Structure 1
């Protein structure tokens, strides 16, 4: 990925006389093509910074916002702890807090006659937090928008326009088609309304959505799965303890769960989490010993053998990515492009190591009253 907006920073105590040597070493790394061994795909993506390139694309963005049903997706541009997020709202409707990002709440209040990139950068997405101060983001930085123009694909992501080589888009789409939908049965995620008892919405009826942790417990109870969410396993190959998965079946299906509301950053984290856990389980015997201890002591002795002590047969293990908030039939097509990239790279990596990799989605449903 090219672009002068990218910076590299570090801190090191050295003698002044050593600076030329250090500069030469950094420049050697800059010129190196070693990244192509694992990240050659970045050469298919070009960051656009010149106004002559971005202004026509921004105009298409504005034109789309004037339509009755814009094709723009609004999502958070960074990772957050979604179980601590109580809701979202927008400029001109800040008090209308929803448990997920409801783009129509923003579109319906837009002054379409005075739309401009500057106004989109002034508008805000507000994120309400249970324990910390509320966060706000420029709406422009929260837009995800794809454009097909003159035989090329352009993507607005985190406030930056990218040009994507069409051959790369085709490659990702073909790989994505290979990722099968899991055959496992999952319950829908609950949504409901309740009277707020504290905070800025005290006394008002607010919409809520089931937290990932609560969903995992309910799904396990209803479907006979086992909960490994928040049960951490330490490995010498990671700086911190990690989750083996969120849900585990007796048939060695390791399920990783994330809300769709997390946007591209959350989904990319989901795929990375599943990739790392599977790789370490396959290659680190000490990790498997620790994982078996966690399962035996905190989950169930009956499923300890889902993590073999020796001779791991990856062909008998399925890595499942479960996304809450959108049904399986539309899930893959509606993923942001960079999430598609992360999913397909995870699929390629784990499939080459013998794992079966699948995805699944569940829609939202009103929580039963009884």
Structure 2
């Protein structure tokens, strides 16, 4: 009987071209390479002279739970110890790292090929051989989600929106791959493979060949080209500078993101900058800015490489340390009208043709005027001198009182299918059956997200709930002594228009890219129901 090759579970990374200096492939923490925490391991023979191994042995420590329970239990001496190992191999002038234990935390992520694993997975897997995905929603809250299935399934069976989400991880099984039946691809590639280690050079060559394929285009993953990862250090440096500008200027277009779907047991966080630190329960921009201001750190001297978030996990004694650079999300334009997205310490260029398609789709709905209405500019303040959408809605309804009612802040309860929700029908309702929902764009996608949600919920209830239509009729009748709908059982949807009123300072409707995608999708959802849609651009003169 022929002996089987041993089965290995490898997590491997590919480093960028010409990144072969092992000393630079370890992560820097506070300016120091963590290579100093590792001991080199000698290889056994000259067949492996292109391989270097390193091991890290941690000191045994008493577990957290014994410390907390000592007042009740008389424990014997209990200590935990975790060891980490990684080795580097250079083939065809390209260096790979294979990690075991927690050694992946020691990799210098700025040196790796960021789409290495996910591109190989997309090249090797078919659309019907998917077992799990991680996806990050690209909007103000940048939610990260994970979906799994016990057996291979079609990609279409997963709740993944290729227009609104970034594929963060892709896994599945296949019989077609030459090097592994099971693959999990993200920035790294995790494989379960039977391998004779004497052939590990050939294994790495197979990985490199797979990465350079374009099978993903015919495998159904062509959408990953809409967002292309940028590996050029100079462009990444520009992104880091723009991140610092946003922190220093308290720019609300910056979002702090969930670290990883792997960290499901987060107890708390600790912000750390040099000798300063503060424990927090929730990770968001406001808590970060407060920490920096309290310690007089929010200035041009701020060094992002010294700003860390320690992720305190309930099931681990040691926190996971991540740079603020790894936990930030924002978008920006640069010269030649190029659109970039920075997230998870990765820089993506939005494909120009993709961007133009979104703009073109929205153009037909955008207007600055509405028939029979005086669309006034926004420059309205409350008694405290603060800009106020509520005051604007009051003024809008007064100047158009012959044809509208003001429903701003009028929340209705006990709607069927939503008995516990408070529903706001719209801000302004017109005699022409126009449901106008108004929000001011404040350099953040959050308010726009609320606007889209308001329109979708109101539209769905209008179509499906007679009681909702009755509330609308009575509200209009109370002001104008006439109902809006003659027959509550049979409304003419073609006479109804939902209007997204967006207050914006710029002449054109300049929104974050993924807010435009979300707006387009929201419009499509309403239009598909038979109801018309407009996007009203309201000038902001404040």
Relative to the length of structure 2, the TM-score reads 0.44
Say if 2:401 is the partner of 1:215.
no
1:248 is displaced (CA, Å) by: 0.9
Counterpart selection for 2:423 from 209, 231, 242: 242
**Matching of residue 228 in structure 1 with residue 407 in structure 2:** yes
Mapped partners of 1:339, 1:143: distance in 2: 14
Alignment of 1:22-101 (within 5 A): 27-28=149-150, 31=153, 33-34=155-156, 39-42=161-164, 45-47=166-168, 50=187, 56=233, 58-63=236-241, 74-75=252-253, 77=255
C-alpha displacement at 1:152, in angstroms?
9.0
- Which residue of the partner structure matches residue 180 of structure 1? 366
Shift of 1:155: 1.0
Q: Deviations over 1:47-80 (max 9, x none)?
A: 498599689454122455799xxxx9643749xx
User: Are 1:172 and 1:340, in contact at CA under 8 Å, matched by a contact in 2?
Assistant: yes
**Deviation at residue 284 of structure 1 after TM alignment:** 2.1
Q: Match of 1:133?
A: none
Which structure has more relative contact order (CA 8 Å, sep 6+)? It is: 1
Greater fraction of residues in strand: 2
Counting matched residue pairs gives 291
Q: Is the 8 A contact 1:245 1:274 kept in 2?
A: yes
Q: 2:432 aligns with which of 251, 260, 263?
A: 251
- C-alpha spacing 1:209/1:325, structure 2 compared with 1 (3 Å): farther
TM-superposition CA deviations, 1:68-116 (whole Å, max 9, x none): xxxx9643749xxxxxxxxxxx789979xxxxxxxxxxxxx952xx564
1:354 — aligned with what? Answer: 530
* 1:222-279 superposed Cα distances (whole Å, 9 cap, x missing partner): 2223111122234223351311111111111110011212720110220121122112
> What does 1:93-242 align with in structure 2 at a 5 Å threshold?
111=300, 114=301, 116-118=303-305, 144-146=330-332, 154-156=340-342, 168-184=354-370, 185-190=374-379, 208-224=385-401, 225-233=404-412, 234-238=414-418, 239-242=420-423
> Equivalent residue for 1:18?
none
Q: Return the offset for 1:347.
A: 1.3
Look at both structures and tell me which one has the larger radius of gyration over its CA atoms: 2
Conserved 8 A contact 1:281-1:288: yes
Q: CA deviation at 1:173?
A: 2.5
State the TM-score, normalized to the length of structure 1.
Answer: 0.61
Query: Following the alignment from structure 1 to structure 2, what is the Cα–Cα distance between the partners of residues 317 and 281?
Result: 10
**2:135–2:146: 8 Å Cα contact kept in structure 1?**
no
Instruction: Quote how far apart the aligned CAs of 1:348 are.
Output: 1.2
Which residue of structure 1 aligns with residue 515 of structure 2? 339
**Which has the larger helix fraction?**
1
Quick one: distance in 1 between partners of 2:476 and 2:307? Answer: 49
Deviation of 1:313 after TM superposition, in Å, equals 1.6
Structure 1 55/92 Cα, relative in aligned 2: closer, same or farther at 3 Å?
farther
2:368, 2:538 within 8 Å by CA — same for their partners in 1? no
* CA shift in 2, pair 1:230/1:161, >3 Å: farther
